[in-house]
Amino acid sequence: MISKIGGRRVLQMKFFGDSETEKFDEAGITPFGKRVVKSSIWAFSDRVIQQILFFTRTLILARLLSPGDFGIFGISLLAITILSTFSKSGFDLALIQKKSDIRPYLDTAWTINLIRGMFRAAALFLSAPFIADFFNSPGVVPVVRVLALSELVNSSQNVGMVYLQKELEFGKRFVFSVTVGIAGLIVGVTAVYFLRDVRALVYASLAGSIAGLVTSYIIHPYRPSLNIDLGKAKEMFKFGKYIWGTSVLKFFILHGDDAFLGKILGPAALGLYQMAYRISNIAATEISNVLSDVAFPAYSKIQDQSHKLRIGYLKTIKITTLFAFPIAGGLLILSPEFVRLVLGEQWISMIPAMRILCLLGMLKSIGFDDLFKSVGRPDIPTKISLVRLMAMVVTIYPLTLRLGMQGTALSVLISSFFVIPIGLYHMSKTINYKIRDFLKLLSFPFTATALMVFIVSLLKRTISDINIASLALLITSGLVFYFAAIYLINMIFREYQLISLIKEIKRGWR
């Protein structure tokens, strides 16, 4: 639908719909659009509850455990991630992207995944001493061996769960995730009260895996059986091989810094760095994960309709940056107070790295991967990841040796910024949208965030001794100013259309 504003033709966006080809309800939303909206809200609620549970568990454990304990656990997870990444099939995403019936493929996917899990569990158990020697951390051995059980448990989950994402049934996914989160929280907090060491983190992880296994078979009626159809496996691998390639490259991108820093600076520094990364990127990671869960299956269903794909993708970017930018900006300016008051004095040395990683959080909220994968071009994220990895390899060694933990963070930031132009170029070609217009879209939340950071920095100077109450006041003031700035920007630049987007989301939930 096209209307004129100030003499200009402006696209009145509908949720994944075209008024000339689809029926709209009285709220102006297509049936598929309503499913996308409801799924997004369920997915958002899912991630919010997950993070509340996870963050609560992390804060309690961070108060009672040392950075060294978190470092040992981090090394163990790193070893698991290595094996998981290099044995990744990509079958789950291949099934979601597939437009035809996927039921004939499920048993093959589940059986291969189970074999992968058995291989990973055995490899972890046997390699635990070598992992400990590499990082010069003997405490890693029992942790890795217990966590190996989690790999076997996770690989046994019901493959029918893929339907929940493919068909946008995120209400059931919500139940699954909350069950896993509650199990981890209860076991983790109970264990740390009695044990006061890294075993609390291990038992919390194992409890979540067991809860996930049981819940997956309760939620979905499909019952897998051992069977491998080589023809179907080959068909899924044709798509999945690029997912595997991207996953391998992203492992080095996302965890290469952990491995390098853990080897050079030790487990304690790794624990500090991982905590800084987790907190500084929580907004970009979680919001992007929410929208990715919904966007990829939604984009896949409209992959042949470029107009709808463009509309859906741009709305996803608007929503992601609307929330990710201010949260990253707020953490950037308030990180010293947040770390001291919430985590404790033992985590203060991570603040400089955390501030650098907040900028990374902003960049991560500008996602392209789901768009490219949905149109059958998983090779593009693979190539982008390769360039990013090369940039990180060149910079991480000299920067870490010179600046320590901050240098590692700076290397990750530089490599991420380096590939943004490549993603913009392919995005422009995929959805036929000018890069200049896309950057203008990003400039609105960025400008509001910059103004918010400036105002909060001024308010900080008026408070001599910041406590929890004054920190909460600064956060509230920043949010109020940010959304006031966004509202004014929306009124001045009508093409931003944020208010109308929020109204569409509200109508779509009804």
Q: Looking at the domain assignment, is residue 360 inside a domain?
A: yes
The reported pLDDT for the residue numbered 14 is: 45
**What's the rounded mean pLDDT across residues 41-56?**
73
Query: For the chain, what is the mean pLDDT?
Result: 80
Nearest to 360 by CA among 395, 390, 331: 331
**What's the rounded mean pLDDT across residues 463-469?**
87
Q: Which domain holds residue 361?
A: 266-510
Q: What band does 30 get if pLDDT is binned at 50, 70 and 90?
A: low
- Look at 489 and 495; give whichever has higher pLDDT: 489
- Is the predicted pLDDT of residue 211 greater than 50, yes or no? yes
- Look at 26 and 507; give whichever has higher pLDDT: 507
- Look at 276 and 256; give whichever has higher pLDDT: 276
The reported pLDDT for the residue numbered 455 is: 94
Q: Looking at the domain assignment, is residue 191 inside a domain?
A: no
- Is the predicted pLDDT of residue 242 greater than 70, yes or no? no
**What's the rounded mean pLDDT across residues 117-125?**
88
pTM over 0.75: no
Q: Looking at the domain assignment, is residue 174 inside a domain?
A: no
Q: What is the C-alpha to C-alpha distance for residues 302 and 295, in angstroms, rounded to an integer?
A: 11
Least confident of 115-119, 262-266, 289-293, 491-495: 289-293
**What's the rounded mean pLDDT across residues 464-484?**
91
**What's the rounded mean pLDDT across residues 285-289?**
67
Nearest to 104 by CA among 250, 267, 274, 227: 227
Amino acid at 45: S
Among left, alpha and beta (phi > 0; psi -120 to 50; other), residue 196 is left
Q: What band does 27 get if pLDDT is binned at 50, 70 and 90?
A: very low
Least confident of 149-158, 235-244, 417-426: 235-244
Q: Looking at the domain assignment, is residue 366 inside a domain?
A: yes
Concatenated DSSP letters of 17-69: --TTTS---TTS--HHHHHHHHHHHHHHHHHHHHHHHHHHHHHHHHHHS-HHH
Q: Looking at the domain assignment, is residue 323 inside a domain?
A: yes
The reported pLDDT for the residue numbered 159 is: 86
Q: Looking at the domain assignment, is residue 38 inside a domain?
A: no
Number of Cβ within 10 Å of residue 81's Cβ equals: 16
Please count the structural domains in the chain: 1
Q: Looking at the domain assignment, is residue 314 inside a domain?
A: yes
The reported pLDDT for the residue numbered 454 is: 95
**Residues with Cβ within 8 Å of residue 304, at least 6 apart in sequence:** none
Q: Looking at the domain assignment, is residue 456 inside a domain?
A: yes
- Look at 167 and 394; give whichever has higher pLDDT: 394
- Is the predicted pLDDT of residue 41 greater than 90, yes or no? no
- Look at 258 and 94; give whichever has higher pLDDT: 258
Q: What band does 6 get if pLDDT is binned at 50, 70 and 90?
A: very low
316-358 pLDDT, tens digit each = 888 888 888 999 999 999 999 999 888 888 889 999 999 999 9
